[in-house]
Structure 1
Amino acid sequence: MTSYTPAADNAVTRNKARVNAIRTKARALFDAGTPGVHIATSIGAATDQLICDFVAEALAAHSPGERRHIADSAAVIAVGGTGRGDLAPYSDVDLLFLDGGDASSSFREAVNLIVQACWDAKLKLGHAVRSVGECVAMARQDPQIATSVLEARLLWGSEPLFEKLRQRYRRRVIHARLRAYVDACIEARSHDWTDGRPALQELEPNLKSSFGGLRDAHLIRWIGGGVFGARDIDSLRLAGALTRDEARQLKAAYEFLTHVRIDLHLAADQPTEILTRDEQLRIAEQRGVADSAGQRSVERFMQEYFRHSSGIAQISQRFVARHRPRSLVSVAHRLIVAHRADRWLRVTGDRVDVRQRDLPHVCDSLESILRLYKSAALYGVIPTQRVTEAVTAAVAEISQPPSPEAAELFMDILECTRHLGPVLRSMYETRLLDVLIPAFTHARCLLQFNQYHHYTVDEHTLRAIEAVTAYDDDDGPIGAAYRSLRHKNLLHLALLLHDLGKGFEEDHSEVGRRLAEETAVRLSLSTRQTSQLMFLVHKHLEMSLLAFRRDISDPKLLVEFGHQVGSPETLRMLYVLTAADITAVGPGVWTDWKGELLSDLYDRVLLILSGKHYSYHEKERMRAIKRHVARSVVPNDDALDADAWERWVDKQLAGFSAYYLTCTAPELIAADLDVIQNLDPDELSVAGLHEEETGTYEYCVITKNPALIAGCFHKIVGVLTAKHLEILSADINTASGGVVVDRFRVIDHDFQGEVPDSRVDEIRDALKEVLSGKTSVESLFQRYKRFGAENQPEPVSDLTTRVVLDAESSDSRTIVDVFAHDRPGLLYAIARTLFELNLSVDLAKIATHFDQVVDVFYITELDGRKVTDDTRLQQIRETLERRLTDFEQEEHRVFVQ
């Protein structure tokens, strides 16, 4: 066991102080406005000296002769990031202790002391003790070791030994197998990716590993070091591996990311690479980035970040494509399978290429470039990197608007489906899309600062195109609608335009409408096409708003929406566009439940636009429900004849809302009537039903007891929320005879898959306790609060809390839209306030978008009258707004502390 002495304690304290001094100097340089690369170099140089000091101290007990012997037969080498010499304040220190074979145990003992000194100093050390042979053998097998050794730099010890390692490494790892080495470098980079490809434009990016992060710049160094023997940007430019413009972009981007990374380390006092939303807000404010019309300061800062990261990513991809060695077999294969397309093009595998001497012909006009991309779309390929670079250079010289021929070629490209996504990504990379649709330039790297969208506007748009073309193979209603479209090019154009109005002060749908009109003129569209395009862009949110926040059984709503849409073809386009738009928001945003609601609305409006009167559809549904009830439910009174039983069923159904009758499955209606006929006057029925396809649970509460009915909505909401259930929708119904049937669709985050029966029993018992008055909702919140819930993050959205009342859209009810920040207990607070206002909730729709909820309530007075009086409406709005303000500022803490 090691015994600690005062001298040892002093050494530990001294070493910690030396590391802190390095970080203190870095802080001073940062505060003085020193460029990030210079700070990183300063940290690297100071760390080098510190390691050399640790080596000297570890060998101090040896005689001068022993020290010389060890120094002649061993080496301490900086590798990886330490070898590059650009460290952040809390970066790992990567060291290779190279044993030449003659240093014996003395060097190994010294290594242990050096490692201990690093640990004592609170440096995070990555190290290995190896011979030259071991290093080379492992570098041939492990791409991460290969790239780490490429950055090797001698800190202390034998220079001949270090040169031996370098020469053998270059001879055996690089020169003897250059193609394998480059592939290994790419593989090392791909370790940071998911599903085999990088996650594009993450809104909380990792500065090192995300798309366009520092690792992409390192990839250029790794490949450049192998192919050209040059790693830094200037050397690669002089070697002809990078253009002057690429070198300039790389330097600026690397400086930007390095400076931000150092900022993150210093602010956190620990290693951190994730640029979280909180940090984005802090850095934007710290840098003094000003708001602009339509963009917050943080959005402008992040747009600058994404422009730099996109630049790094695109340059690294071009660099890899240009300099990745190809095997003779692959070259021969490409020649064998290649075939000519059009006049100048050669299609090989998944690429379309052009001979060098023919490039001027292909790139001499916008029309010829578009013919290239039309061929690419038809053959399912994209241009090679060489062709892409030539197109990019040519596009930069185009200043005239598209000719009618160019416009027609672009619309022909948009008519394609199978390979449209990759083709449009290539057109985006070359900025050809900006020539055709100038508004695309504004949307490049444009951030939407919320927790709903996962990608920048441009990336979201391209993903929407990929989502919509995937519907060609979808066997559901969306796929059927997509395949039946006669003019897919107009839908694809609408998707390209639908969000380009963001980043302005005005509502993006209004801006988008004008952009659609300008684009239609630019592309010489007909009057009919222009009108249809403008409608799709202007109303691209309308269908989701109605499906997720309105009563889609309301005939007035359906007729008015159908009147807006005008034709089945436009409805199909809007339906498919809406689904693709939601899908492209981010992983997990599109759900089966949303698909059901959207498809239901689509079917109902399509019936209207197809010439069949809606009442016919409803009558048919009522007959189907009656038939199902007659088959499924057995009367509990044997004395009832068939006519009496039918009258009883008619009476019960007449008491339900149209929404309940048209949106509830017939088997559920039959189950509800079965419960109702067997329910005692003072009884409460609670049933839970798992829906495997949607991953949700439905809880149905039925009672005839007047004492339980009073305020039951807000009490049920309170119980479900206290039990950690996320409420997706609520259908509130009062049938004839005062029977309440309340159905709640929820997600139980405490379980995956079907919840156990004990959980359903637990919730049933809690509902009965609260509705009967044996316990309160507040006590349940306290009983089931979660550890650490009081530390949940504050909302980052700048959307305001507001209440909107609509007394016009529905003939029978007033609609209340509540926009508020999502917090535990919010829905309960709103529902209770409506109860205290003596209002009856007939229908509720609950949705959470990023960190703001949009809760919709269809309300009446307690006697069933629609609320229309202006004074009463003002009272409701002001009371809700006041309660929401109190809840946001303080009351929400009751539910989490």
Structure 2
Amino acid sequence: MTDLAPATSEDPTSKPAKRAKLKPWNIESVMDTRKLRVQLQAAAMDHMQDQKAMRSRAMDLMHGALFRGRMIAQERLNEGADGLDTARLLAAVQNEVISTLFDFTTNYVFGERNLTSGERLAVLAVGGYGRNVLAPSSDIDLLFLRNYKETPWAESVIEYMLYMLWDMGLKVGHAFRTVDECIRLAKEDLNTETALLDARYLAGDESIAKNLFDRYHSDLVQGRASQFIAAKLNERDKRHKKQGDTRYVVEPNVKEGKGGLRDLQTLFWLVRHTYGGDTLEDILSHREVFTEEEARIFRKAGMFLWAVRCHIHYLTGRPEERLSFDLQPEIAKRMGFEDEGSRLGVERFMKQYFLETKAVGALTRILCAKLEADQQKSKAGGLLDFFGLKNELRIDQPGFKVVSGRLSIEDQAFFFLNPVEMLRLFVLAEKHQIDIHPYALSAVTRSRSYFSSKHRESPEAREMFLHLLLDTKDPGPVLRMMNEADLLGQMVPEFGEIVSQTQFNMYHHFTVDEHTLQAVEAIAEMERGDKCDIFPLGCELFPQIKHKRALYLAMLLHDTGKGLGDQQVEGAITAKRASRRLGLDEAEADLIAWLVGNHLEMSDCAQKRDISDPRTISQFAERVGTLERLQLLLILTVADIRAVGPDVWNGWKGQLLRELYTATAAALESDHVKEQEVAVDLDQRAAETRNALVARKGDLPPRLQQMDSAYWTSQPDVQLDWHVDELRDAQGEMVVTCRVSPDSGAVELFIAAKDREKLFADIVGAITDEGATIATAQIFTGKAGGVIDLFVLQDDEGRAFAFGEKSRLDRLSAKVADAIEKGHVPTKLAKPFRAGREAVFVVDPDIIFDNQGSADYTILEITGKERPGLLFDIANAIAKRDIRLNSAHAGAYGERIHDTFYVQSHDGTKLTDGDLTESLATDLLEILSRDSDLAPRTPARVLAQARSAESF
């Protein structure tokens, strides 16, 4: 392989602060093994007649040596040592303890005898410990190897050693076998075969260990490379699928996740089994596999990932492998990642993490290409079957060929000499619907730095890229491959800036680039008409849009402003720059910039405002301006929400967006954007919804007849049917019932009651007392004083409350009904708040009193950090001031809440009393800052300016 270009995965913006360089260690500088052995001998001599005292003294000596060695490893890690250095030091300390323990046990505890051949014993390290690396809380896997059948002496030695190791606090996995048993089991079980591949001699009779190594090589290595490779790659694929099949989850599993340590270990196993070698240095010295630069990348990824894993173990005190939110800031700090401008140190750290795992993926492609080429030469059927090779297909394009049914290139230098041809690789693969060979993908990775501004601005490159984005049936997979090979960021540098970028919050489940590609896929699904049941309106509108290219490019670029300041403002700037460079004219570039600059506005308006309020629709229609923009923004918004993460999209959000679109479209189409005209349109649509419900279900219960447009325009038909059925079955005026939604699987609570003072606070208090978390809340007040309240309930982990268990839902309903009738006295709410992994997040509390956004009500918007009982505290603060609550829209976005209340003073007017609003703001800010290190903002800052009509 020719090393054509520096294949570095480093990102200059993510480099940690420089750390002091540590001196190299050797085991003598960490443990005085000779002194330890002398001390153990003395202990044996001093307590020869007292086995219990001898054991106790030996335990103190060995545990002390182990503890000191592990402390030195931890101190070095905290001072900036890399992870491999730490893992090797921990293994070296463990080696000395085990070998010393074996000698002590066989020489002094059970030593006064001549061993027969059958009693000879060897101790081997296997598994990860066999590779001479060890994480702080990892298990220690030992193989006790014997010549023949078990003997009482050997069993006594093993038992004594194991109990000593367990009493030192170590987790030890062990097996006691002969060489024949090891080989037989390895042929039957891949895990055993892999564990023995890593086997390493520690103590005892070395000849037995050598016999195992020789037999392993002759029986399990020679002539079996293809079977082993296929089995390990298949195992890796299953593991990736179990972990979600993406490396870009924001709380990754460092060990088992895609691109994590297990993938690096798989590369080690494949190279060791196929090409030989014992140590990592041996493996990386195979220049026929990895270039010197790629070997450096392998080491760098290993050092980084091992450092992260060791820090996790030290911080948690257990073998935790998930890099969870609560660990990320502290590990970032310990590894030297500091805040830089608007970029948090923890976000810089996580970006580097994903860049390293991405580099592991590139190394995997390189090795697979080499393995397949070697196996092709030898016609090894097992591996060829695994790679799915098929009959040749001819590609009539210079420089390209088909190898084993996949698109490849004639020579690795091809892309170096013709950088634009890297784009053609993906165009041809899409055109002929064939996979790309790892050899070609690795060539792209190695040559990507030669793809310069001259190439990305060439008409040929622009045409091919836009074809891949717009003219492919499913652009997601091809764009993801381009991103994995680092070509997408080369073609669109603005996108390259968000590759592997994270947002430190609990709302977004993926890195920014992965979220973006999933959003592009969601748009393509609507264009194809797939999964139309998710949001039918999107599929219906897609054929009507005139600016498909602007839509796809806006989606690809919608988050390119993240990390630069106001993401919509900065994103509009970067999007326009990218659009112009791609050859679009000024008008289309302006449209893309407008979509990116407003891509959050429709979801904010739908979820945080009363979309039955004529002024809301009027202001939104004025902001959008045209029906085409509205259609583009709707599809963009739906795709954006769907790509945030699993279970973020739901039917309630879909209904709100559909209603906002319908009301705004009616205003734009009829040119009725004035508030009074919009009000007429809204009332007309509400009447149509009521009439349709009457046609389906007959006369409406009195409670529904008094509801105004806000209720009728926000509920899908399936909800309205449910409400009618529940109200008809009710014996009295009050209805409180729960169900598991047939569409989303969420737990929904429906309440119909007579309004009274403090009602909303009492209901929320009862819900929270039962351990439920309120994901969304809507309240509607009827003309005759009746209210309908709707809640979606979850548990602390974001799952359906009580998993929909009927007995718990019935108990919740009874508790809420009791609170409505008698008022609520907090019980569990009074208990102290215990912070979980969300404790690391900081959300600046904010209060806005808006007297401009509604003709009749003050809009009270509250932003803060979610915690149990928060909505109850907020509702209480509002209720005790005799403020009338007309409607509420409460929602949680990860660790952040944004609750909107439409309120009036007791005399039915907006809140204009400065003393009242200042007092309420003070209380709300204190509530939002409770259990937080944040000092509350001063009310004066909150009340300085109401939100303008141009922003939602």
Alpha carbons 2:856, 2:910 under 8 Å: kept: yes
Deviation at 1:14, TM superposition (A): 4.1
Aligned equivalents of 2:716, 2:805: Cα separation in 1: 22
2:560 to 497, 500, 507: 500
2:198 to 139, 146, 151: 151
Q: In terms of mean alpha carbon deviation, does 340-349 or 529-538 score higher?
A: 340-349
Deviation at 1:566, TM superposition (A): 3.8
| Shift in alpha-carbon separation, 1:11–1:770, aligned structure 2, 3 A | same
Aligned equivalents of 1:59, 1:720: Cα separation in 2: 65
1:640: which partner in 2? none
1:257 to 293, 302, 305: 305
Alpha carbons 2:118, 2:147 under 8 Å: kept: no
Aligned equivalents of 2:700, 2:172: Cα separation in 1: 77
Q: In terms of mean alpha carbon deviation, does 37-46 or 694-703 score higher?
A: 694-703
2:687 to 615, 622, 627: 622
Aligned equivalents of 2:105, 2:236: Cα separation in 1: 36
Amino acid of the structure 1 residue aligned with 2:344: R
Q: What does 1:164-183 correspond to in 2, within 5 Å?
A: 164-183=211-230
Deviation at 1:779, TM superposition (A): 3.8
Aligned equivalents of 2:643, 2:180: Cα separation in 1: 50
Say whether 1:399 aligns with 2:464: no
Q: In terms of mean alpha carbon deviation, does 90-99 or 197-206 score higher?
A: 197-206
Deviations along 1:330-372, whole A, 9 cap, x unmatched? Answer: 489846242325454445787322233xx65566445433233
1:594: which partner in 2? 653
1:76 to 123, 131, 137: 123
Deviation at 1:890, TM superposition (A): 12
Deviation at 1:256, TM superposition (A): 2.2
Deviation at 1:874, TM superposition (A): 4.8
Deviations along 1:58-114, whole A, 9 cap, x unmatched? Answer: 32355677247468x542212222221122333322211222227744333322222
1:641: which partner in 2? none
Deviations along 1:114-136, whole A, 9 cap, x unmatched? Answer: 22222222221111112222212
| Shift in alpha-carbon separation, 1:221–1:767, aligned structure 2, 3 A | closer
Deviation at 1:754, TM superposition (A): 5.2
- Taking structure 2 as the reference length, the TM-score comes to 0.82
Deviation at 1:827, TM superposition (A): 0.8
- Quick one: percent identity of the two aligned structures? 29
Alpha carbons 1:795, 1:821 under 8 Å: kept: no
Deviation at 1:689, TM superposition (A): 5.4
1:646: which partner in 2? none
Aligned equivalents of 2:650, 2:716: Cα separation in 1: 19
Aligned equivalents of 2:808, 2:190: Cα separation in 1: 50
SS in 1 for 2:468: helix
2:840: which partner in 1? 796
Say whether 1:375 aligns with 2:428: yes
2:282: which partner in 1? 235
Alpha carbons 2:92, 2:132 under 8 Å: kept: yes
C-alpha RMSD of the superposition: 3.6
Aligned equivalents of 2:217, 2:726: Cα separation in 1: 80
2:331: which partner in 1? 283
Say whether 1:412 aligns with 2:467: yes
Q: What does 1:604-623 correspond to in 2, within 5 Å?
A: 604-611=663-670, 615=680, 618-619=683-684, 621-623=686-688
Q: In terms of mean alpha carbon deviation, does 575-584 or 621-630 score higher?
A: 621-630
1:388: which partner in 2? 441
SS in 2 for 1:819: strand
Alpha carbons 1:467, 1:584 under 8 Å: kept: yes
2:638: which partner in 1? 579
Alpha carbons 1:303, 1:445 under 8 Å: kept: yes
1:695: which partner in 2? 745
Deviations along 1:496-553, whole A, 9 cap, x unmatched? Answer: 211121122x111111100011001110112332122112211121121122111122
Amino acid of the structure 2 residue aligned with 1:565: V
Alpha carbons 1:591, 1:694 under 8 Å: kept: yes
2:506: which partner in 1? 451
Aligned equivalents of 2:189, 2:225: Cα separation in 1: 15
Alpha carbons 1:447, 1:455 under 8 Å: kept: yes
Considering Cα pairs closer than 8 Å and 6+ residues apart, tell me whether 1 or 2 has the greater RCO.
Answer: 2
Aligned equivalents of 1:298, 1:362: Cα separation in 2: 36
Aligned equivalents of 1:798, 1:493: Cα separation in 2: 33
| Shift in alpha-carbon separation, 1:378–1:491, aligned structure 2, 3 A | farther
Aligned equivalents of 1:752, 1:439: Cα separation in 2: 44
1:434 to 467, 489, 493: 489
| Shift in alpha-carbon separation, 1:810–1:777, aligned structure 2, 3 A | same
Deviation at 1:802, TM superposition (A): 0.7
Amino acid of the structure 2 residue aligned with 1:469: A
Aligned equivalents of 1:102, 1:685: Cα separation in 2: 75
Deviation at 1:709, TM superposition (A): 1.1
Say whether 1:660 aligns with 2:711: yes
Aligned equivalents of 1:481, 1:350: Cα separation in 2: 39
Alpha carbons 2:775, 2:793 under 8 Å: kept: yes
Alpha carbons 2:247, 2:258 under 8 Å: kept: yes
Alpha carbons 2:519, 2:642 under 8 Å: kept: yes
Amino acid of the structure 2 residue aligned with 1:79: V
Alpha carbons 1:381, 1:419 under 8 Å: kept: no
Deviation at 1:209, TM superposition (A): 1.9
Alpha carbons 1:222, 1:231 under 8 Å: kept: no
SS in 2 for 1:580: helix
Q: What does 1:403-802 correspond to in 2, within 5 Å?
A: 403-471=458-526, 472=528, 473-476=530-533, 477=536, 478-482=538-542, 485=545, 487-504=547-564, 506-611=565-670, 615=680, 618-619=683-684, 621-623=686-688, 625-626=690-691, 628-629=693-694, 632=697, 653=705, 656-664=707-715, 684-688=734-738, 690-704=740-754, 709-736=756-783, 738-747=784-793, 749=795, 756=806, 762-773=811-822, 776-779=824-827, 781=829, 790=834, 792-793=836-837, 795-802=839-846
Say whether 1:815 aligns with 2:859: yes
Q: What does 1:883-894 correspond to in 2, within 5 Å?
A: 883-886=927-930
Deviations along 1:597-651, whole A, 9 cap, x unmatched? Answer: 3333334334444559664574254155247448856699xxxxxxxxxxxx8x9
2:181 to 134, 154, 165: 134
What is the aligned length?
Answer: 861
Q: In terms of mean alpha carbon deviation, does 870-879 or 178-187 score higher?
A: 870-879
Alpha carbons 1:341, 1:347 under 8 Å: kept: no
Amino acid of the structure 1 residue aligned with 2:789: R
Alpha carbons 1:805, 1:877 under 8 Å: kept: no
Alpha carbons 2:842, 2:865 under 8 Å: kept: no
Alpha carbons 2:143, 2:176 under 8 Å: kept: yes
SS in 2 for 1:790: coil
Alpha carbons 1:846, 1:853 under 8 Å: kept: yes
1:352: which partner in 2? 407
Alpha carbons 1:36, 1:256 under 8 Å: kept: yes
| Shift in alpha-carbon separation, 1:508–1:38, aligned structure 2, 3 A | same
Aligned equivalents of 1:98, 1:883: Cα separation in 2: 64
Alpha carbons 1:801, 1:884 under 8 Å: kept: yes
SS in 2 for 1:396: helix
2:4: which partner in 1? none
SS in 2 for 1:663: coil
Alpha carbons 2:778, 2:890 under 8 Å: kept: no
Deviation at 1:208, TM superposition (A): 2.0
Alpha carbons 1:420, 1:466 under 8 Å: kept: yes
Structure 1 spans left out of the alignment, 5+ residues: 637-648, 893-897
Q: What does 1:833-848 correspond to in 2, within 5 Å?
A: 833-848=877-892
